[in-house]
A and B are shown apart, each in its own frame.
Chain A
Amino acid sequence: MTTLFATIATKAPLILATAEEGEAKAFSDGGILASGAWLIPVVPLVLAFLIVFFGKRSPLKGWGMAVTALGFVAVYGTVLFLMNLGEGITYEGAVWLADIGTTAFGTLSIEWGWMVDGLSIMMYFLVGVVGLLVFIYAKGYMEGDIRYTWFFASFTLFAGGMLVLVSAPNLIQLIVGWELVGVSSWLLIGHYWEDHENSSAAIKAFLTNKVGDAALFIGAIIVALTVGSFRFTDIMEVVASGGPDSPLATYAFWAGLALFIGAMGKSAQFPLHVWLPDAMAGPTPVSALMHAATMVTAGVYLIGRMFPFYLAHDFAADVRLIIILIGGATLFLMGLVALVQDDIKRVLAYSTVSQLGYMTAAMGAGAYTAGLFHLFTHAFFKGLLFLGAGSVIHAVHSNNMSDMGGLRKYMPYTFWTFVIGSLALAGIFPLAGFWSKDEILASLSYASGEFPAAEGGAGAANLVLALGIVGAFVTAFYMTRAVYLTFFGKYKGHGHPHESPRVMTYPLVGLAVGAAFAGLLNVPGVTDLFTKAVGARFVAVLDHHAESIDYTIAVLGGGAALLGILLGYRLFAKDAPTQLERDRFSIPVLYPLLRHKYYIDDFYMEGIIKPVRGPVARGVDWFNGHVIDFVINGAGILARAVGKVVYAFDQGAIDGAINASGAATSLWSGVLRRIQTGRVQQYATLIIAGTVLLVGGLVLFQQI
């Protein structure tokens, strides 16, 4: 037998250039840390299995193993991240799994590998660090849960799936991680499956994602068959050298669009965003991790991974027009919906969708760093906000802000960290969100001058820039509302709220530090650490990087945010006997529209799902029973009817003849049996008589 595993030689850096200068730059290959990075996805996956089988018997009921897994990833990711900040690492390891046939370009293989470059290192770091804090927090939050161990098993699987996804050096493995994340999110969202609504939300998430996945499949298929490989490095090689006549270029638009639709599913872009707010049915730590570092970032990550493909004019540059518009629509429309939510987690969920819109729009505008930078900072403050919301929910046993109010006094840690998170999200100087959002707006403004994608590109970029500034206002507004309704005024819930245990507040503080300072990694004109870090790729990522801060944009964005906070303060600071009275800004038409989420969910439910599950499915089943089976059963019944006729003929005519011959035989035998007497002499007589007759006849007629 041939060797079971054959490791493919690791790739040397393909194009040694950074974006701006175009100067040759060699990245480190990361040494043993990079070649051992396959452990990053494998350790959580293995531990997830171990928790399933041994978790219940272990002293910490599985939490220990889960936190070990994430701790390992966090430490590994941090070390790699720091190293990458220093010199930049590019490494690709791969294990050949199997050949699956041939294409026009030779044998097509599937591989398992691990990519260690700026992009994936950033994700390792995020998933590890944010994940670790969330896992620690979850110990307090999930205490006493009916399926405590199972929760940590699926949670670890969730993180492991995400790590499979981000470590993937090829599309197949990316799909594997992609769906692992999907299925474990299904498990986690439906964690309290006794309730029909929760399992429905889980199914909604899975199916919406599956729609994206189907498109992702198609995109991956097109790319793989026009390149002859699933590997990103091979794809990028074609992008770098292929030109407009390469097979990939021919189908680049469709491939790019299909991949983007896949990304839309995971990153909850309009109109495939519907699953994310419903995903709040899961326990809060799940929401925190899902919205911060894992799952929803996957779509943006995919665009980042394929970025040169989307950037190159000969390839999928035209798709970017769609990307930027979808991103703009998402950031604006979903931000508005967050205004009217009563469930604190739903406010944050719609906020996530809106922020993902920012990232997508940035990617569409060709701003690789800006999009990823927002992803990076967003992970900290959105994780923080969700954990803070969880802490509040833990205290008041309700998700609804109408049961809250005045919690500032009872929960100081939660309050202060939540405020830091809100300000960061709103984009207030100098917190993380300010820098990243500013960078996105700046690149949108830059792109409106340079946008190469299509004729309408500049207009689209300008439009999205305007939406982005308005979006900043809306973001600040709804966060102010959430903070006031939750923490200010008089407490309107039941019981006596209390601060959460330290196992929950410490992670809040940790994330608050990140939310405050993460933005300093990439201050225009001061440092470009982050740009260089995520730019450490095998292939040059051509990206605009601002030399200095664009003050117009900064003032516009920051001003919009401040305005939002002011307006929020004006509207919501005043206490009232019930939250409903505080929370009142009924604008006709718009308000019901927002409350019904633009009727999109209803349209999917009533317009697609119910008809398909109902009339269409029943119609097919009816067709099966009444048409196809009609033919089959009809043939059978007809055959039996014909059979009866044939049988009648058989009994009447054919059997009649047979029976008649039988009767004749028996009649004759009755006659002839008489001559059989058993007496030899009679027989002899007959023989002799016969002989005489015979001989006599012969003599007479033959004349012998």
Chain B
Amino acid sequence: MGWLENGWGLSLVVFLPLVGAGAVLAIPKANEQAQKMSALVFAGASFVLSVVLAFQFDYGRSMDFQFGTDLSWISAINSRYIIGLDGISLPLLVLSTFMTVLSIVYSWEHWPEPHNPKAFLSLILVLATGMAGTFVALDLILFFVFFEVVLLPMYFMIGIWGDRNQAKLPVFRRTIEMRLYASIKFFLFTLFGSAFMLLGFLALYFRSGNFNNGVNTFSMEVLSEIGRMGVWGGTFGFWVFAALFLGFAVKVPMFPFHTWLPDAHTAAPTVGSVLLAAILLKLGTYAFVRISIPILPDEAHSWAPAIGILAVIGIIYAALACLAQTDMKRLIAFSSVGHMGFVMLGIATLTDIGINAAIIGMVAHGVITGLLFFLAGSMSHRYHTREMARLGGNQKLMPIMGGILGFTAMASLGLPGLAGFWGEFMSLLAAFNPIDGLSDNLFRTLMVIGAVGTVLAAGYLLWMLQKVNFGEPGEEWASHTFHDVDGFEMAAWAPLIVTIIAIGIFPRIVFGATNDAVVSLVASAFGG
């Protein structure tokens, strides 16, 4: 199976969905069944192929890039088509193809208004290419292209199929339509960060020639080697890291760059929120691990305390904000900020335990919060409201849905034995002993505050469950009949539930791939 190894396999995983998008567009509008089938086939093929790659992957040398290739692309600026898969990107790649398939399955019978499966499916598929590509790109420009490709489909998803409610902007007292406001905010906010990120990339490119026999390069591997030598220089490194930080932190999102997230998640159609939460947020954290740390290790070291503090502020801040929410979807959205805070805390420790924690935290957050958004979407579809005050007694009206919601909330609050636990616990674990040179006392304080955050997280999730699931159903629902979880929902959710339990009980599913890669990454970036 040589073609699998030499880059074709990986390229197919990335570009099959794009081909699928073309195929869906080519099918006449009336023939929805064919559109759905072909979308599923292409996304499914991409998923199956990524799983095949996961099985072919040589876990013994997970620190090396495998299945990769290096082809000439834009020779004028020496930007090359370099892709590859190592233990860090493997779980995230599989996660992204997996979530795409589930999103299409879920969409089968749940179309947001206006009804246009053709456009919707092709946007999902374009998104899939962008997401998968970001995780395999090893060239900064290629990375940037994929990183930006995901913006457009998401912008249209929110802008076209989003929440049509009017809302009032605080302070400015303007009336806005949620979907338009949220989509523009999402797009501009992210683009704002990306602009700085691109500047950072270019700065690295132009400086890299000095240390690479006069050849400027965008190759992450070469740049990492330069970074390892520690020759970037103080001021230069500082500003480049700052630029990259801005780009990635907006995407994560970290406090205080997070405010696009609650609006975007709340306004987006169900599948949009799911993919946004499950994959798009991971692009930022992944970039920290893949780009910031190896290429600018010294700068990462000096920035780590700031990142750690912001991460922990995010944890507490998001938990408190969650407590104040009345809208279920918005609550889940804010909880993402908190979870990504744990991920960033893990990264900020710059230890292998912390980065392992970050990666399993990303995967776990992907499946858990993805499922939560699925549930929130399905529930608001049935109740036509997301106001928790009006819900209640859901467990009585829809026992299976309520049960799954309870289960997922438990997973989200980090119940040991389910996926969410490892990321939370291990990032606290890592914070006790950050890498040499970082202040132990600072990070231990952060650890304690983070632990308080887990209590608050339990609080808002339990109160959410109490409001939504428990009690007697309100009188306004007395005359309604509710259909409990249907087949397509079950088909999309059951795999997620199984994954949550599987990772919880047997975390080697993730650590088996990541550990060696992370250990070698930390060792080569920081020595010893």
Residues of A within 8 A of B (CB): 1-2, 97-104, 108, 110, 172, 175-176, 178-180, 183, 186, 190, 193-196, 199-200, 203, 206-207, 210-211, 213-215, 217-218, 221-222, 224-225, 612-613, 616-621, 624-626, 628-630, 632-634, 636-637
Nearest Cβ on chain A to B155's Cβ, whole angstroms: 15
A624 touches B259 (CB 8 A): yes
With a cutoff of 8 Å between Cβ atoms, the chain B residues found around residue A98 in the complex are 506-508, 511-512, 515
The verdict on B490 contacting chain A, using a C-beta distance below 8 Å, is no
List B320-354 residues whose CB lies under 8 Å from chain A: 320-325, 351-354
B451 touches A218 (CB 8 A): yes
With a cutoff of 8 Å between Cβ atoms, the chain B residues found around residue A102 in the complex are 352-353, 519
Segment touching A, from B211-219, B240-248, B453-461: B453-461
A222, B448: Cα distance in complex, Å? 11
B351 touches A637 (CB 8 A): no
With a cutoff of 8 Å between Cβ atoms, the chain B residues found around residue A99 in the complex are 511, 515
Nearest Cβ on chain B to A505's Cβ, whole angstroms: 34
B55, B422, B429, B459: the one within 8 Å of A221 (CB): B429
A100, B184: Cα distance in complex, Å? 40
A176, B506: Cα distance in complex, Å? 13
Nearest Cβ on chain B to A146's Cβ, whole angstroms: 10
A221 touches B472 (CB 8 A): no
A203, A213, A617, A625: the one within 8 Å of B320 (CB): A617
Interface readout for B431-466 with A: 1 if CB under 8 Å, 0 if not? 011000000000000011001101110110011001
B59, B421, B507: the one within 8 Å of A1 (CB): B59
With a cutoff of 8 Å between Cβ atoms, the chain A residues found around residue B256 in the complex are 628
The verdict on B471 contacting chain A, using a C-beta distance below 8 Å, is yes
A100 touches B426 (CB 8 A): yes
With a cutoff of 8 Å between Cβ atoms, the chain B residues found around residue A218 in the complex are 428, 447-448, 451
Known: A101-B353, A194-B471, A620-B320. A179 touches B415 (CB 8 A): yes
B324 touches A620 (CB 8 A): yes
Most buried by A among B320, B426, B511: B320
Known: A183-B410, A214-B454. A97 touches B506 (CB 8 A): yes
A100 touches B511 (CB 8 A): yes
Known: A194-B471, A194-B472, A214-B454. A617 touches B410 (CB 8 A): no
The 27 listed contacts between A and B (C-beta, < 8 Å) are A2-B60, A97-B506, A97-B507, A98-B507, A99-B515, A100-B357, A101-B426, A104-B433, A172-B416, A176-B421, A179-B415, A179-B417, A180-B417, A183-B415, A194-B396, A194-B472, A217-B425, A217-B451, A221-B429, A225-B429, A616-B323, A617-B322, A617-B323, A621-B324, A624-B259, A624-B321, A634-B171
Most buried by B among A206, A214, A613: A214
Known: A100-B426, A206-B458. A180 touches B416 (CB 8 A): yes
Closest residue of chain B to A146 (Cβ to Cβ) is B396
A100, A221, A613, A632: the one within 8 Å of B356 (CB): A100
A217 touches B432 (CB 8 A): no
B59 touches A2 (CB 8 A): yes
A175 touches B416 (CB 8 A): yes
Known: A194-B470, A222-B432. A636 touches B188 (CB 8 A): yes
With a cutoff of 8 Å between Cβ atoms, the chain B residues found around residue A175 in the complex are 416, 425
How big is the B interface, by class? 35 or more
A169, B255: Cα distance in complex, Å? 39
Other A-B contacts than A97-B507, A183-B415, A633-B172, 9 sampled, CB-CB below 8 A, are A175-B416, A178-B416, A179-B421, A193-B470, A200-B466, A612-B456, A619-B320, A620-B324, A636-B184
A184, B519: Cα distance in complex, Å? 37
Most buried by B among A101, A213, A218: A101
With a cutoff of 8 Å between Cβ atoms, the chain B residues found around residue A612 in the complex are 320, 323, 456, 459
A141, B49: Cα distance in complex, Å? 54
Closest residue of chain B to A200 (Cβ to Cβ) is B466
Interface readout for B507-518 with A: 1 if CB under 8 Å, 0 if not? 110011001001
A196 touches B353 (CB 8 A): no
Known: A180-B417, A225-B433. A210 touches B454 (CB 8 A): yes
With a cutoff of 8 Å between Cβ atoms, the chain A residues found around residue B448 in the complex are 218
Nearest Cβ on chain A to B35's Cβ, whole angstroms: 36
Most buried by B among A2, A175, A193, A613: A193
Nearest Cβ on chain B to A604's Cβ, whole angstroms: 12
With a cutoff of 8 Å between Cβ atoms, the chain B residues found around residue A215 in the complex are 451
Nearest Cβ on chain A to B507's Cβ, whole angstroms: 5
A195, B512: Cα distance in complex, Å? 45
Known: A102-B519, A214-B452, A632-B259. A617 touches B324 (CB 8 A): yes
Nearest Cβ on chain B to A130's Cβ, whole angstroms: 24
With a cutoff of 8 Å between Cβ atoms, the chain A residues found around residue B519 in the complex are 101-102
B507 touches A630 (CB 8 A): no
The verdict on B189 contacting chain A, using a C-beta distance below 8 Å, is yes
A99, B517: Cα distance in complex, Å? 12
Nearest Cβ on chain A to B293's Cβ, whole angstroms: 15
With a cutoff of 8 Å between Cβ atoms, the chain B residues found around residue A620 in the complex are 317, 320-321, 324
With a cutoff of 8 Å between Cβ atoms, the chain A residues found around residue B471 in the complex are 193-196, 199
With a cutoff of 8 Å between Cβ atoms, the chain A residues found around residue B353 in the complex are 100-103, 108
A219, B454: Cα distance in complex, Å? 15
The verdict on B207 contacting chain A, using a C-beta distance below 8 Å, is no
With a cutoff of 8 Å between Cβ atoms, the chain A residues found around residue B518 in the complex are 101
With a cutoff of 8 Å between Cβ atoms, the chain A residues found around residue B454 in the complex are 210, 213-214, 217
Most buried by B among A180, A621, A625: A621
A323, B472: Cα distance in complex, Å? 43
A242, B169: Cα distance in complex, Å? 62
Closest residue of chain B to A208 (Cβ to Cβ) is B455
A617, B324: Cα distance in complex, Å? 5
B185, B320, B322, B469: the one within 8 Å of A632 (CB): B185
A613, B458: Cα distance in complex, Å? 13
B459 touches A207 (CB 8 A): yes
B60, B417, B459, B507: the one within 8 Å of A110 (CB): B507
Nearest Cβ on chain B to A270's Cβ, whole angstroms: 19
B324 touches A618 (CB 8 A): yes
The verdict on B376 contacting chain A, using a C-beta distance below 8 Å, is no
The 8 A-B residue pairs with the shortest CB-CB distance in the complex, in nearest-first order:
A101-B353, A617-B323, A621-B324, A98-B508, A617-B324, A98-B511, A176-B416, A101-B352
Nearest Cβ on chain B to A393's Cβ, whole angstroms: 23
With a cutoff of 8 Å between Cβ atoms, the chain B residues found around residue A636 in the complex are 184-185, 188
